[in-house]
Structures are given as C-alpha cells and as structure tokens.
Structure 1
C-alpha cells in the first residue's frame, strides 16, 4: 500500500494503533490533525484534559454514553508535536475488542472525526512539517527494522541527524564557495581581487570534495551493515547444507531428506553474531540435472554465491569432491561434512579448513549429528562478519540513495575545480548543482519521486 500524496494530507485527521500486535497489556492509539482535540473531548465526555499531562479518563460512546474503556489520555496541541499538528494519544487496555470499539467510534460513520492512517503517514506529516528531514526519516525506518546492536547504533545516529548535520555543514561550505565566486564576478574589473576570490572558492570546493570522498570511502560498510553479512551454503547435493542450516538456526527451517535435489530454492535465516547481522542462505545442490525446477534452483544458487560476502563450500566425505565454480564472489571456505561417518572420528584432532582469505579458526570438518566443529564454524563466521562490518556503525552513508547523491556532488565539484581557464559563471553553476545533489539526501531538493517508496516501508501508526 502506498502512502497518500502530500497534497491530500493537509486538513485530514488520521488515527491508528501505534503500538504492537494485539492482545497486549497496553495499546496506544494516536490521532493527528485538526479534529484530534474535538475527538478526544467527545471520547472524554466533553472535557479535554490539560495539555501534555497524562490523565485517567473514562471513554464513552457519543450516541448513548456507553463506556468504552478507562484509559490514560494525552492532549498534545500543535505545533510543538511530532507531526507539527494537534495530536492525541489514548493508552488503552490492549484487547482487540477494546481497540476496535475505540477506533470505530473515532473513524466510522458519517460523523467520524478521523480516517485510518496509511503506512508511515504520521512520519510523513513530520517530514512535511519540517520536524524531520529525509535522512532522519530513513534512520527512523532503520531503527524500527534493526535486529542487532550494531544496526541499532547506526540507525539511532542517522535518526538523530548524524548525516543531516554533516550535509548541512557541506552545503554551508558550498554557499561560502559560491559567495567567493560571486565576489570575483562583482570585482571583475579589479583583476587581482577577482583572481584571489576565485582561487579561494576553488580551494574551498576542493577541500569539500576531499571530505565527500572520505564519506564515500566508508559507504560500503554502512550499506553492508544495514543489509547484513551475506553467507551462502553451497556444494553438491546431499552435502549437508540444509542440516547445517538447521543447526545454525537452532530450529528446522529447511527440509532434510536423503533424496538429492530436495532444496530447490534459496532459504534464508537471519542471525545475530556478536551484535552484527548475518544472513545465511541454504542453496540448491550443484550438479548436472535435467529437471527444470532443479535447474532454476541451481541458477539461483549460483546467483546467490556471486553476491555473497562469504561462500561456505561443503564437501561430503563419501563422494568425489566437486570443485567450486570460479564465478563465486567474496571469500570461500571449504569444509568437509558428516565427520561422524568417518572411521575413528572420535579420536581425531580438529583441523583447519581451506580458506581462500586465510581466515583463522575455520574448521576443516564438521558434523551436525555430533556437533563437531559447529561452534568453531559459528565463531569463525561471526569473526568474519565483525571484520567486514566493523565501523559501519559510524558510517555516514548507509543507503545507495545517499551514495548516488554524494557521488553526483563529487562529480560536480570535480568540474568546478578543473584547472585552466573556466568562466566563473560555469564554476558557480557546478557548485549550485553540487548543492542540489546534497540537498536530495535530506529531502530539500527533488525527492518527491522517492517519498511514496520510503514511507510505505513504515508500519501503520508510525
């Protein structure tokens, strides 16, 4: 479902459940818009509570005065609210029938005070009211979706304006450089003054270009931390990939049978290893096969292997080893499976696995049945994830959209600082375009096309 266009939002009052799934101990229902006050007063029997104070009230139905609930209510007059509008909050008992009755009283019938909110509409109103910029909105979305400690730290910084404040500083430096170029034009009849001002502008733009390049250099870690460290389990059929997947997930997420080709699609499980997000994918066994469904599964397996940060290639002991395809991306670890089936496995010492990147601690063999090597493998994957993602918490650039806009700004600055004679007017135009590119990050310039996509990713009530 898409959020409403910005030109249809003004004037409406919206209502939604903003807390978690029902039933719950407490359910929070929010209203925002010009009817928030009258709606709250009607529910409270005609009396508005004092502003910004939580008050216990008996909520009643307008038609017959029948009680709906006893709840804590808050009246939050605008513009000093999250959305910039009048708001109200109802802290109800968290039963489904209670919440349904209260929302029906507010949003049903010809005399309804409000309409149900669309996904992300409260946050969209905050953006339109200037309470948040687009980078902070995206940080809030990431905070709601965060599954690990590192993701929480990164998202909290974004929601708190880490990137926004840096963008504001960069745009301020661009304004300074443009002002110097304007001065060179104003004093064009005084060659020495004009030349000094233009050189100062070029130096300022070059320094800014270096700052942007530093931010871009760390963009990969920021984006990878949002998406998680990607691990693909690969190998021939019946190598034990699905069994290992279940062991890593500590639950049965993949079907395990003795029949070759059981796994035909990519199955994912999300892990939190040492505070870092790791996505492990179980893939179809690689072999020459005539079945159309299995061929598609193999195609998807190879695609996942190419995109993975780490491929764990499993070799069964009872078959001739299959060499991994050369097209796989990231690091490659080769591990022998089903160690419990090998004679005398209880007496053997652990061995190191084959690791293309020289990673330490990778077990050479594992057994899901006996547990041999599983703990070492989990620890090794966690260490690899930490090495790949560490520092992403502090990265300013966390989305491809941010990176593309800053890359555009860098390209403009490259043209603005080119050596040789270039008309100051052209340099100034490139600086203006660089400022517009940075403005797109925070939603100050030309982002209407992306608003619907961003806000539709929010839950209803946020």
Structure 2
C-alpha cells in the first residue's frame, strides 16, 4: 500500500456482504463533503451540513432514478476515525444498492479503498498506534467474550501504555548516558552504572519479560486451542463430544467403529475458543471392519500430532486393556494429556476408586477425571481440568493482565529482551558510554516497532492487509 498517497478520497462498503437491515458506505478524504452534496438529497433543504448530525434523505442512481432512502452523516476533520473529512451513508443493505452507490462515487472521483486503508489513515494521522490497529482486527475476529474484552482493552491503549512506560524509562536512562558522552572527563560521576543496571532490569527487562509471558496466554484467547478426544472404539468419544457441546452433533451407537472420520466443533472453555475434535477409535488395521475405518484411524493418529491437548478416554466397562495401555504408551511423550474415565455410572464406588488408582499408576502425574458422558456426571470437573491443562494461569491472565501481545509483538519483545541482556552485560563490564548509548538506542528503536513508530513499510503493509475492505 502506498503510504504517500493520502490526499485522495477513498470509498468502500463498510458492512459485511449480503442482505440485511443496514449497509454503510464510507468515504474519507478532502472531497468527502463535496461527494455527499453530489449523491445525497436531504428531505429538507439545509444551508450546510453540520458535522456529526444525522440527515434523512435519498440517493439517486447514475441515471437520476431514485435508488434508496438513507441516513447520512458528515464528520469534519480532524474529528473522525481517519482524522480526515468522513461521510457515511446508511442505506438498506441490498448489495445492488450499495454497489450502485459505490460506482457513482467512483465516477465522481472517489478511489476504491484498499484493505484496511481507513484504519491505516487513522494510524498515519496519529489517532491510533499500530498495536491498537491490530487490536481492532482481534476485536473483529474474536470468538469469545473474553477474547473481545482483551482486544477492546488493547484497542483502548492498555498495551500502548505499558510500552510507553518502558520507552520512557529507556529515554531517561539514555539521557544520562548522552550527558556523559558530552562530558567524558566526568563519566564516572555522571553515570552510576549500578543504578543504571538496576533500572534497566526493573523498569525495562522485567516488564518486557512479563509481556512475553502474557503473549502465550493472549494467543490462546485470540487463536484458541485444538483438543483431540482419543481412545479405543466404543469408549464414548462421540457421547462426550455431544455432552461438551450440549447438542447431538456426533452419531452415537453401540457398534464399535461408528465414527469413521474426525468431527470438529468449537466450544467456549473459560473464554478460550477450543476446537474439539472427535476421532475414530484407534485399533490395529487388522481389527478394523473395512478400508474406510482404516483411513479413519490413520486420520485420528494425524490429529493427535496436531493437537494442543489430548483427552484420552478410558472405557470403565472394559477397563485398562492391553490395547489401551499400548495406546497410552504411544502418546506418553505428549505433555498435555488428560485421562478421562468414562461410564462411571456403570461402576460401584469401590470399583471406580480401584480403576482410577490403576489408571493413575499407568500414567503417573497425569490429571484424571471420572465422568459419565451419558448422564452428565463430572462434566464440570472435566471442563475445569481441561482449562487447567490448556492454560494453567488463564484465569488470572484473563482477569488482570489485559495486555494481550500478539505473535508480532512477542517476536519484537524477545529481541528487546536479548538487547537488554546485552546492554546489562556491557554496563557491568564497564563498556564506554558511547557503546552503551548505541545499545540503548537500538533497544528504543526495536520496542518502537510495537507501536509502529519505527516499523518498516513492509510490516505496516502486512498488518493492514489483514483487514477487510471498508475497515
């Protein structure tokens, strides 16, 4: 995207495609008001459009025929999303009407907007920083209320404020170093290296490391996790999927091998979007009923490799069979495994305790939950255990951190962490102040990539290309 050509006027449909109640066409740029006057006829004549007032009227097609009745609003610069003159025309969401209006605006000189161009103009005008622009993408694509809440906090500047505090500390440290460069004979007096190292650790390195730690949990709320239900045939995997989803999504029968292919559905687990995958029961190819089941078992094994967490279902009726022990041995090197004893309703209390103890001995240290997918016993305990397995600190993160660094931020922060460590070593080794200045300038420039202050154009283009047109 060309960042230099900002004085032209752009237009786009700002609402999702398809029919609906309201469809919005957005215009931004120096000719926005002129275009409004050309395409919109207010019901009552007005001497001039007042900024941020809503007007009722009509728009006409290129041939002069009545196209739609609309509401129009003019937002005068700089009091708009892009800090330019902006016009929004609220039509009925008929695709043909919106496209006809967009075509008429094009004939009058409005260029079709590129993906994310309205938000990019807001960024270039200084209305938002790059992390806030990315937060808008996260808000638009959030799959849970918790994910939307984190995105909204970042959109309102939570991450920007944290980064701003770190930058301010760096600027103050750098100022002391720069003074020492100007007065080399007084270096030892002007630079307290121990105090500088303490501040660099406490005010820069520690907050950066905390943000890096938060990034892992933020990614869960933003991108979610893949949970695979694995087990032998007829262990109750499909029943458990239905119970977790609270709907009859998978076919359940008493015939082993009913599930031939994986079934994927989404669920909200403590605010984390989780893709739950029911797989074919795993057994040797020779025991499969036909070639289709063989393929289903092979796909199940592939799903196990791509999962963030595994739920190994144990059939309480069958117990810890050699086949189940062999399956666990195959999966034992995976870090995230939850053992689930299913069909507890078929056991006496003593039998359940004995079987749970045997399962714990087979898989020492693994979390274990006993449930009945059929009648819902133990499902809440199962969900609590799943959340603890997928995100041990998710509850405290979701309630307090509110910063939500993304993958790009995490990569930048890790570079900042490495540069801080290098600068600390230089401070403690008595490196010359001019080299310390270079190190701190490098840290400042690197951390500025999060807000976009020092980001190269290709990074900006990559971020804004993720938006749809009209945003």
Q: Which of 174, 179, 188 is equivalent to 1:178? A: 174
Q: What TM-score do you get using the length of structure 2 for normalisation?
A: 0.82
Q: Deviations for 1:171-226, whole angstroms, at most 9, x for unmatched residues?
A: 121111111111222222235424x4555433432332223223333332222222
Distance 2:296 2:200 in 1: 55
Distance 1:379 1:261 in 2: 29
Residue of structure 2 equivalent to 1:52: 52
Q: Does residue 222 of structure 1 match 2:224?
A: no
The Cα of 1:372 is off from its aligned counterpart by: 5.1
SS at match of 1:417: helix
Give the aligned partner of residue 390 of structure 1. 395
Q: How far apart, in 2, do the equivalents of 1:285 and 1:112 lie?
A: 63
Shift of 1:18: 1.9
Q: Contact between 1:332 and 1:357, CA under 8 Å: does it hold in 2?
A: no
In the TM superposition, 1:228-377 aligns within 5 A as: 228-251=224-247, 253-254=249-250, 258=255, 260=257, 262-265=259-262, 267-289=263-285, 293-294=295-296, 297-305=299-307, 307-308=308-309, 311-316=310-315, 317-318=317-318, 320=321, 321-323=323-325, 324=328, 325-337=331-343, 362=369, 364-368=370-374, 370-371=375-376, 373-374=378-379, 377=382
For residues 319-343 of structure 1, the C-alpha deviation after alignment (integer angstroms, 9 at most, x for no partner) is 8351322122224223235x67x5x
Q: In structure 2, do the counterparts of structure 1 residues 203 and 387 end up closer, same or farther at CA, with 3 Å as the change threshold? A: closer
Match runs of 1:36-115 below 5 Å: 36-45=32-41, 49-64=49-64, 66-107=65-106, 111-115=107-111
**Which whole-Å deviations, capped at 9, do the CAs of 1:77-108 have from their partners, x for residues lacking one?**
2233211222100111233343333223223x
SS, match of residue 266 in structure 2: strand
Distance in 2 separating the partners of 1:372 and 1:390: 24
Specify the alignment match of 2:452 in structure 1: 443
Q: Give 3-state SS (helix, strand or coil) of 2:147's partner.
A: helix
Q: Distance in 2 between matches of 1:378 and 1:192?
A: 59
Instruction: Tell me the distance in 1 between the aligned counterparts of 2:271 and 2:300.
Output: 32
- How many residues are treated as equivalent by the alignment? 441
Q: How does 1:126-165 map onto structure 2 within 5 Å?
A: 126-165=122-161
Contact between 1:233 and 1:241, CA under 8 Å: does it hold in 2?
yes
Query: How big is the shift at 1:287?
Result: 3.5
DSSP 3-state at the match of 1:74? strand
Q: Take 1:213 and 1:375, find their aligned partners in 2: how far apart are those partners?
A: 34
Instruction: Tell me what 2:20 maps to.
Output: 24
Q: Distance in 1 between matches of 2:198 and 2:271?
A: 42
Q: Deviations over 1:346-373 (max 9, x none)?
A: x87995766766758x3x24244x5555
Mapped contact 1:180–1:197 kept (Cα < 8 A)? no
Report how far residue 25 of structure 1 moved: 2.2
**Is the contact between residue 22 and residue 96 of structure 1 (CA under 8 Å) also seen in structure 2?**
yes
Q: Which runs of 5+ in 2 are unaligned?
A: none
Equivalent position SS for 2:257: coil
Q: Please say if residues 336 and 390 of structure 2, whose CA atoms lie closer than 8 Å, have aligned partners that are also in contact.
A: no
Please, which of 412, 416, 436 is the counterpart of residue 409 of structure 1? 416
- Closer, same or farther: CA 380–326 of 1 in aligned 2, 3 Å: closer
In 2, Cα distance between equivalents of 1:448 and 1:438: 16
Distance (whole Å) between structure 2 residues aligned to residue 37 and residue 20 of structure 1 = 24
Q: Output the TM-score relative to the length of structure 1.
A: 0.83
Q: SS at the partner of 1:119?
A: coil
